[in-house]
Every structure is written in C-alpha cells, then in structure tokens.
Chain A
Amino acid sequence: MDFDIVVIVRNFSLLAEGMLTTLRLTALALLFGLAWGTVLTLARLAPGRLLPALASLYVNGIRAVPLIMVIFWIYFLLPVLSGTQIGPFYSALVAFVLFEGAYFSEIIRAGIKSISQGQLRAALSTGMSYLQGMRYIILPQAFRKMAPVLLTQSIALFQDTSLVYVVGLMDFMTASAMVASRDGRLVELYSFAALVYLVISLAATLAVRHMEKKFKAGAQ
C-alpha cells in the first residue's frame, strides 16, 4: 500500500490548530483540576463529619464512572439542567476539571498524609487556624513531595483529552479523525496521531524522570 505523507503536510494548519486546542484544554484542566482537587482534599481532611463525608462521596462517585460518561453528562445534560449553553470547549473543560479533580485529590491527600501530623498540631498550637496551617506549613511540603506523581497524572490528562472526540470538539484527535475520513487516509492520519502523542508523552515522561532525579539529588 502507498503511504501518502502529503496529506499530513497539506492539512498541517488544521492539525496544528487541533494540537493548540488540546494543549489549551490540558493546561486549563490541569490548573483548575488542581485547584478543585486541593479544595476537595481540604474538605476531606477538615474537622467535623459532614464535609469529609460529602467530599469522599464525590471523589469515590466520580472515580467509579468512566470519563466519557462525565463528558456526556456535562455536554448533553448541563444545558438541560441549567438552561444555558457553554459551548463544546468549556463543557469539556468543566468535565475534565470535575473528573481530574477527584484523581488529583487522591494524590494530594496521599501527599499530605506523608507529612507528619505533628506539624499541623504544632501549627495549630502556635495559634494558626486549620487553613493557615495547611496553607503555610503542610501544603508547600506536600506539593513538593507529590510533584512527580502529579506530573505523571498530567501526562495521563493530556492523553485523556483525546476523548473530547466523542462530542466533536476540534482537538488534535478530532482534527486527525476528520481529515482521515474526509480524505480517506485513515492509515496515515491515525499513525501520525499515534506518533505525535507518543513523542510528546515520552518526552514529558523523560523530563519528569530527569526532574525527579535532580530533585532527589538536591534534597540530600
């Protein structure tokens, strides 16, 4: 069979635009997902009963459901429930933030638990509030510890954004699929898409590993 590389060159700007959407979605989902994950974790570890129970119900509920399901929920059902249209990009973003927040919260919780509880008690005894103790004492140390895991999860998030294909948002995956079926060049486009995802994810993984090594060396 003939492998037609020209089809990729010809549609380069479309694919590049798709990649920009993918990266923008990844970056925003990461930012807000981390924020939401932190809020969830603080709620889970908060004193009292109600807040931790609600937060862990949310986290365990989300973690039992496929990501595609969450994307569909937000895309088809948020407009019905709220009566407003927010467009495919923002509905995908909301879905990813809600979904990844639950996973980030698990990582952050593990990170916080790895910091000795005595430190929080010491902070409280010097007159800090629970939030201050978390903000100034626990979280800065915990985030440093869990940085590699968070980055690995971010690479997974980058790959997961390809699922917006199911609602037709023009990310890199959807753009590749569109060109593939329009020009009848499935083999070329899907191989190219796989290669691009592979190169970016591998490069990111190697960078994380390098950073981890440097970080460990620096800490000693």
Chain B
Amino acid sequence: MNYQWQWGVLLREPYLGWLLDGVKWTVAISVVAFAIAMTLGIAVGVARTLRNRQVLRVAAVYVSLFRSVPLLVQLFLWYFVVPEILPEPFGYWLKRDLSNPEYWTTAVGLGLFMSARIAEQIRAAINACGAGLGNAARAQGMGTVQIYRHILLPVGFRYALPTLTSELLNTVKNSSLALTIGMLELTGQSRQVEAYTFKGIETFTASTTIYILMSLAVIFASRHLERMMAIPGMLSTRDKD
C-alpha cells in the first residue's frame, strides 16, 4: 500500500476550522431536532395509550407515515416539495425570507422523523408500567391528566431512558443526511476537506473519532442521569450484561 500519511493536514487552517464548524452544525441540528422529536413524540406516544378510538387511529397513522418513508425522501419532501405546494405566501417565505433554510429544514424534518420513533418508545414505556399503576391512581381519585402527569410519565420516562438515549444517538447520526441538501455538518465538512486535500483517510478517521466521542459522551451522561433519577426499590435499573 503506497499511501502518504499526512495527519498534519487536519491541524492546518482552514481545514481544522471546517471540521469544527461541522461539529457545531451537527450539534445544532441534533439539539433542535431532538427537542422537536421529544415534544411531539411524548404527545403522540401518550395518545397511543389513550382509550379514545379516534385519537388512537390518528396517532397510529402519524407513526406509520413517518416510519414508512426513508428519512432522505422526507428531507427532500420538506426541502423541495413542500415550499412549492403550500399557498403562495408561505412557500415564498420558506424559499426567500427564512434564513438558513437548509438548517431549519433538516432540524424540523429530522425532528418529525424521530418523533415517530420516540412516540413508539414512550408508548412501550407507558405500557411497561402495567395497568395496575394507572388503575391504582384512578382509584385514588386522580383524573386522566393527573395520572399521566404524576404517575405514568415520570415512571415511564425512567423505563424509557436507555432507549431514549439510543434515539438521541440516532438523531446525531441521522443529522449527517443534512449534507444531501447542502448543509455542511460534520460528515459534509469531512467530504469537503477530503475534496480539497485528497487526504480522505485522515479526515474520515478524524470525523469518525469525533462521532464516537460524541456517542460516548451521550452514553456517559445518560448513565449518570439514570442513576440520579432511579427510584430506590421501584425499578431494577439496567440489566446486567
């Protein structure tokens, strides 16, 4: 193998700056997308555990729509199709007045895509609480809102923590699709550095390492959160592996 290793290229400007800029955008997309995903995901997940048939059906359709179309296609729909089919003023706003449309399209599109997955995790977690917990709360005289607010969501959230962590990691990883609509996040910037320097192996090793470090940071933080929030004697935390 004749390859001229040149790790120094990564520390040279502007390439180092490009990679760091990529990290910044990856984080910026992930944070907004995950916030949207959690908000909508909790709402839809709760809806999927209610007893109202209409609500159940709407929530089920929401989840299967967002889960049955590839994320890449969804991003293209939000970016290329939606501005065209919306009524004139809205489409115009999306195309002309919205600053940084690639960023907002990815953040919102990814958020919606992930919300369907989070909804499934929330539903599973609420179901994992068992019928007894909700019934006991009802017997105490709590209303439906109170039951969710004080019992099912706090307990379910603790059950869901490990899977929500991996959904956060998926959000970070999926933010790389932003490069398809011209957003230079970490993967996009590595492609660009590679194109300018022809030092692909070094660049991709660096960005792969950054992704792994980000994952480790998230996993570490979530383990800590799990320990902090554990209810003594109520839930067995993580299974021993």
Contacts and interface: CB of A to CB of B under 8 A. Distances in A.
Interface residues of B, number: 39
B1 A72 contact: no
Nearest to A206: B64
Contacts, number: 109
Interface string A185-212: 0110011011001100110010000000
A197 B70 contact: yes
A163 interface: yes
B72 A163 contact: yes
Given A65-B212, A72-B191, A80-B3, A197 B69 contact: yes
Given A77-B200, A202-B64, A205-B68, A67 B173 contact: yes
B173 A198 contact: no
Interface residues of A, number: 37
B73 A66 contact: no
Interface string B53-78: 00000000000110111111110110
Contact of B77 (A67, A166, A173, A191): A191
B72 A165 contact: yes
A92 to B, nearest CB: 14
B165 interface: no
B201 A81 contact: yes
Contacts of B208: 65, 69, 73
B211 A173 contact: no
Interface in A160-184: 160, 162-163, 165-166, 173, 177, 180
B73 A197 contact: yes
A77 B80 CA distance: 31
Contacts of B174: 66
A104 to B, nearest CB: 16
B144 interface: no
Contacts of A151: none
B102 interface: no
A47 interface: no
A72 B64 CA distance: 30
Given A72-B191, A187-B85, A159 B176 contact: no
B2 to A, nearest CB: 8
Given A165-B72, A186-B80, A69 B64 contact: no
19 contacts: A61-B212, A63-B169, A64-B169, A64-B173, A64-B215, A66-B187, A68-B177, A69-B187, A69-B204, A72-B191, A159-B68, A159-B71, A173-B73, A187-B81, A187-B85, A197-B73, A201-B67, A201-B68, A202-B64
